[in-house]
Structure 1
Amino acid sequence: MKECINKKEKLINHINELKNQKNAIILAHNYQPREIQEIADFIGDSLELCIIAEKTEADIIVFCGVDFMAETAKILNPTKKVLLPEIVDSECPMAHQLPPEVIIQAKKEHPDAKVVIYVNTLASAKAMADATCTSANADKVVNLFEEDKILFGPDNNLAYFVEKRTDKKIIPVPKGGHCYVHKMYTLEDAKKVKAEYPDAELLIHPESNPELQDIADYVMSTGGMVKHVLNSPVETFIIGTECDMISRLNIELEKVGKSKNLVPLRSDAICKSMKNITLEKIETCLIEEKYEVNLDKEIIEKAKVAIDKMLSLNK
């Protein structure tokens, strides 16, 4: 056991040395395993990491997340080197549900609609959008437009969340777009865990099914969950999103000397793609400076317009 701890410490020390030598920064999504979150310079949801990526002065960005996230960092930092520690198994299945041809067809059918797409999409899709959004600001982004019709994708459950918060007609693209992790949750899950923890607040991510959103105490992004749990007087929370969100919450609670009872709505709600990054892969990534994210210049320029529209909300 002691040997394992020493090996891990050496690995972390080497990663930190490499970061300093190469002026690199490590960004980690809330769904990364705890040991990855702990060595990151910044942890966050998609919006928070977008903002950090845009402002960083680092020469190298190591993105511990999935493919579309690293692409977004590259779009915001086209002259910087953006690295993804794992390339083979880094795909976000939902991001691949909205290829450009689906957007092209939807625009033909609804030429008077604006296109707002989730940042959980590939750069080629972002390049066709009028704006991107995250689960933290989707309704606000939609309301930036005067048009009454909005093509919104790829997550249909997030589209439901937005439609309840705007007067606009939201047209989900594609039909059936979803996150397989959040699709796991059922009313039976909620009733079962709520019966076990009757005083707990149920926090549900807007990628979850409408029936879960409708009975939740709060429907919010992962960033919203952090703020809520830290500031709420409630002691027990049922967390309806990917399981390692509890790791992020515990890290933040420990920083301020607090402790809360955090219960996963389902213990098997795991994003497999998020678990493929390891400390060893981060070390290799920094040593060999792989795997670099490269995008076509035209796609970067077009996609940045859509991302900047979203980021204008924070300026």
Structure 2
Amino acid sequence: MVAQLYETTVATAAELIAEINDLRRRRNAIILAHNYEYGEIQEIADYVGDSLGMAQAAARTDADVIVVCGVYFMAETAAILNPQRTVLIPDANAGCSLADSITVEQLRAWKAANPGAVVVSYVNTSAAVKAESDYCCTSGNAERVINAIPADQTILFLPDMFLGSYLRQKTGRPLKIWAGECHVHAAIRPAMIEQKRAAMPDAEFLIHPECGCVSSAMDDLARGAIDSRGTYILSTEGMIAHANRSPASRFVVATEIGVLHRMRKAHPDKQFMPVDESISCRYMKLITLEKVRDSLRDLREPVTVPPEIAARARVAIDRMLAL
């Protein structure tokens, strides 16, 4: 399996990897990478996974330096969990359109309009928003978080409207949902699924609950318009686990294309195709081998969270990790 490359040559990549490995040893550093990163970034990481897995890995590490190859809120989470360690992000411009869809001022106003409501924030939020939340969740444990809240409690779910809609249908809870979206997942529309299904009727379809098509997909599944035997709505880690156990040989994956690297690496005998080649996060792809090297060499782009915000945000994060 050839790692997904960007602009480095093979020789340059090999030299950079050698430098990174040497710096990692000397710094006593750990590199955490998200599933959506370039394949060669995933290859150098000590841990690769989703937001929840990265938070769990950050919580249990004894490294002196944590390099977060992901987007900024992930580095903030690592810093909240490790106030005594150095947390770095190779490019501080690696933001998140979903996290940017709600500000802490907007959340405070929403809470004021709904006194007594329980606030559940998707992990794709700033530390300041997490500090105003009662629970954090990821797509992998969001349903468990919602079900853990007493049935008589009003729930404000933010910021992803597609995941919120999915949870409302899945749990039957009357959630109040913030109208935010991820620019990558919002681009995945029902027509893409329909076209791929018509072209590849034998493939299994793995759909992320953040996707713009997921509410339509759930409705079609309930009505029998989509064959439920070949369609699965899963978190990124759920997709990988499903591919590991499924006897199918072909899969269409409706989420960011970076996740295909792990799938193809684990199962070179199976075929994994994106629902569309354009489904790529421009923020995740800001992280390169050169930037990881520079971050370790110069301790560049440290990420810190003010203690008063970190203490409050940690309550919501710890509840997420407990579930």
- Shorter-normalised TM-score: what interval? over 0.9
Pairing of 1:221-260 with structure 2 (within 5 A): 221-253=235-267, 258-260=268-270
**1:207 matched to which residue of 2?**
210
Deviation at 1:139, TM superposition (A): 1.2
Partner AA of 2:316 in structure 1: A
Root mean square deviation, CA, Å: 1.3
Contact 1:148–1:169 (8 Å) recurs in 2: no
Match of 2:76 among 71, 78, 81: 71
2:137, 2:201 → 1: CA distance?
34
1:38-53 equivalent positions in 2, closer than 5 A: 38-53=43-58
After TM superposition, the structure 1 = structure 2 runs for residues 46-195 of structure 1, keeping only pairs within 5 Å, are 46-87=51-92, 89-146=93-150, 147-173=152-178, 176-195=179-198
1:165 aligned counterpart, secondary structure = helix
SS in structure 1 at match of 2:186: helix
Higher alpha-carbon deviation: 30-39 or 214-223: 214-223
Q: 1:263 to 1:214 in 2, by over 3 A?
A: farther
Residue type of the partner of 1:274?
Answer: M
Q: Deviations over 1:19-62 (max 9, x none)?
A: 01110000000000101001111100011111111001111000
- Structure 2, unpaired ranges of 5+: 1-7, 222-230
The alignment status of 1:312 with 2:315, answered yes or no, reads: no
Please tell me the residue identity of whatever aligns with 1:142.
I
CA displacement at 1:105 relative to structure 2:
1.2
- Count of residues in Structure 1 that have an aligned counterpart in Structure 2: 304
> Structure 1, unaligned stretches of length 5 or more?
none
Are 1:27 and 1:64, in contact at CA under 8 Å, matched by a contact in 2? yes
Q: Does structure 2 retain, via aligned residues, the 8 Å contact 1:206–1:213?
A: no
1:165 CA displacement: 2.4
The Cα shift of 1:188 comes to 1.6
For the residue of structure 1 that corresponds to 2:269, the secondary structure is coil
C-alpha distance 215-41 of structure 1, shift in aligned 2 (>3 A): farther
Conservation of the 8 A alpha-carbon contact between 2:33 and 2:49: yes
Give the match for residue 293 of structure 1. 303
2:66 touches 2:87 (CA, 8 Å); kept in 1?
yes
Does 2:289 correspond to 1:279? yes
For residue 141 of structure 1, report the CA deviation from its aligned partner.
0.6
- TM-score of the pair, normalised by structure 1: 0.94
Q: What residue identity is the alignment partner of 2:123? A: V
The one-letter code of the counterpart of 2:216 is E
Q: Distance in 2 between matches of 1:35 and 1:152?
A: 35
Aligned to 2:225: none
2-structure distance, mates of 1:283, 1:139: 38
Is it true that 1:15 corresponds to 2:29 in the alignment?
no
The match for 1:32 among 33, 37, 42 is: 37
State the partner residue of 1:197. Answer: 200
Partners of 1:195 and 1:78 lie apart in 2 by: 51
> 143-152 or 13-22, which moves further after superposition?
143-152
Q: TM-score, normalised by structure 2?
A: 0.91
Rounded to whole Å, the distance in 1 between the matches of 2:219 and 2:49 is 26
- Distance across 2 between alignment mates of 1:223 and 1:215: 24
